[in-house]
Amino acid sequence: MSGHRRVNRDAGPPAATRPKPGPPTQPLRQIPAAEAEAAASSSEPGQLRAPRRRRRRRGRGGSRLPERAIVFVGPMAAGKTSLGKRVARELGIEFVDTDAVFVRKHGVIAEFFERHGEAEFRRLEAEVIAEELAVPGPRIVALGGGAVIAEQTRRLLREHPVVLLMTTQEAVLRTANIARRPLLRDDPEAWGRILEERRGFYEEVADVTYRTDRATKEQLARRVAQWARGYERQRRRADGARRHRDAAHEPSEGE
């Protein structure tokens, strides 16, 4: 787990002015082909566009986002997908649900479980997650409720900002689509038991935790987006404080 993430389109300098009639006092500057091409595409004749430099991605609002996935974890029906989509829209970045990616590659999860067992599902789920986390640039990636069981996945999450979404069993039973969740339909108490089994894993990987049963989705989306925009600044501050503490504890010469 990590600590605690526009292109300037102004025209460049004007091209060399045309000399007065008569022999020039100095040789004319030869305009490189790249500059000539830029001048030809400029919106105003006689102006050169400065070469565009690649800038780090910024979310809406101007703050810098992490140059890697912001990951949502949490128990089943905590709102990872619905809130993740809202936060992605708020930040103007892509949203990915790894459960949906798994279904596209391997079929319906419940059927895969029944045919191949949980161990094979977890192995392939971890592969899907590793592939999605390897994609560069800021994006929201929501994981399945049990993804944190895999040690491989927890190791990868140390390099990413991780948002833990929590709720209560009462809220889940009140708001979740029971028909689409056989586990809740067949054994409503199972949700609480599974949460307790995984709670330690969630807390191990999380950088920040939000309760989805205590605010509207719109409010939560704004809060999480604000946290994501300030993540890099917070991480640098935490790293600096840690280095300062480490330096303070180093023995001085002669001790």
Tens digit of pLDDT per residue, the chain (255 long)? 554 433 333 334 334 434 444 444 444 445 444 444 444 444 444 344 444 444 445 545 446 899 999 999 999 999 999 999 999 999 999 999 999 999 999 999 989 988 999 999 999 999 999 999 999 999 999 999 999 999 999 999 999 999 999 999 999 888 777 666 766 777 888 899 999 999 999 999 999 999 999 999 999 999 999 999 999 888 888 777 777 777 777 665 555
- According to the annotation, is 99 in a ligand binding site? yes
For 22-79, what is each residue's pLDDT tens digit? 444 444 445 444 444 444 444 444 344 444 444 445 545 446 899 999 999 999 999 9
- According to the annotation, is 77 in a ligand binding site? yes
- According to the annotation, is 82 in a ligand binding site? yes
Q: Which CATH architecture is the domain 69-235 placed in?
A: 3-Layer(aba) Sandwich (3.40)
- According to the annotation, is 16 in a ligand binding site? no
Cβ partners under 8 Å of residue 176, min gap 6: 77, 184
pTM assigned to the model: 0.71
- According to the annotation, is 42 in a ligand binding site? no
The full set of domain ranges for the chain reads 69-235
Q: What Å distances lie between residue 10 and 44, 52, 60, 126, CA to CA?
A: 11, 10, 20, 45
Distance between CA atoms of residues 201 and 188, nearest Å: 22
- According to the annotation, is 81 in a ligand binding site? yes
- According to the annotation, is 181 in a ligand binding site? yes
- According to the annotation, is 137 in a ligand binding site? no
- According to the annotation, is 199 in a ligand binding site? no
